[in-house]
């Protein structure tokens, strides 16, 4: 089986749209490519310079047919259990006055595998203690929010409808 090639964020505001595309890639959606960026930005309400609001993430996930559950400040036990069952987690955490969205797709005993984490490569490892700070409520991260993405198939036709409606598909 080929390794999934996740996509990277190249600007300062599209992390919300990028995390949705990467969640679709995690769910083995072949339609989820970098070509989906503009339509997904539109779907989730991503705008320069502030990016995507949380309700935009949920709106896009719902319209794309992704099964998820929103949790505020989950404990690591909950996170570990979900990852062990084959799920992924979109995390919205604070960085001073700005927020960022990343996708957690796996774990080891010491680290979590992150996609589009802030100052790293497209896919990187995040230390467990730092990961805990991203997920749980802290003074500098007052309302962390996570969307637990459940494993399963997505409707490729629905994705195609939103991502390629303005384009001719051969």
How many CB atoms are located within 10 Å of the residue 157 CB?
Answer: 9
Q: What is the pTM of this model?
A: 0.90
In the block, tokens 């996170």 appear at 79
pLDDT at 3 over 80: no
Structural domain contains residue 3? no
Does residue 8 lie within any of the structural domains?
no
Residue 98 belongs to domain with CATH number: 3.90.70.10
Its domain, for residue 100, covers: 68-151
Question: Would you say residue 58 lies in a domain?
Answer: yes
Quick check: 29 pLDDT over 80? yes
Any domain includes 1: no
146: in domain: yes
Q: Mark whether 76 and 146 lie in a shared domain.
A: yes
Percent composition of the chain: helix, strand, coil (DSSP 3-state, to 5):
35, 25, 40
**Tell me: the pLDDT tens digits for 86-145?**
999 999 987 666 789 999 999 999 999 999 987 667 899 999 888 888 887 665 556 778
Q: How many domains does the chain have?
A: 2
The per-residue pLDDT for 137 is 64
Residue 75: which residues within 8 A CB-CB, separation 6 or more?
Answer: 135, 136
């Amino acid at each position: 089986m080929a390794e999934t090639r996740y996509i990277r964020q190249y600007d300062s505001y599209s992390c919300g749209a990028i995390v949705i595309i990467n969640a679709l890639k995690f769910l083995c959606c072949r339609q989820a490519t970098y070509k989906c960026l503009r339509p997904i930005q539109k779907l989730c309400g991503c705008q320069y310079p502030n990016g995507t609001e949380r309700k935009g993430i949920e709106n896009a996930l719902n319209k794309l047919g992704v099964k998820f559950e929103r949790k505020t400040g989950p404990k690591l036990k909950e996170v570990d259990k979900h990852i062990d069952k084959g799920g992924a987690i979109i995390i919205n955490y604070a960085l001073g006055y700005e927020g960022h969205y990343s996708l957690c797709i796996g774990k080891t005993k010491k680290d979590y595998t992150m996609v589009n984490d802030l100052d790293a490569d497209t896919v990187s490892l995040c230390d467990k203690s730092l990961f805990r700070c991203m997920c749980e409520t802290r003074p500098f991260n007052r309302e962390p929010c996570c969307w637990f993405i459940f494993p399963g198939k997505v409707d490729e036709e629905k994705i195609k409808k939103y991502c390629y409606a303005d384009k001719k598909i051969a």
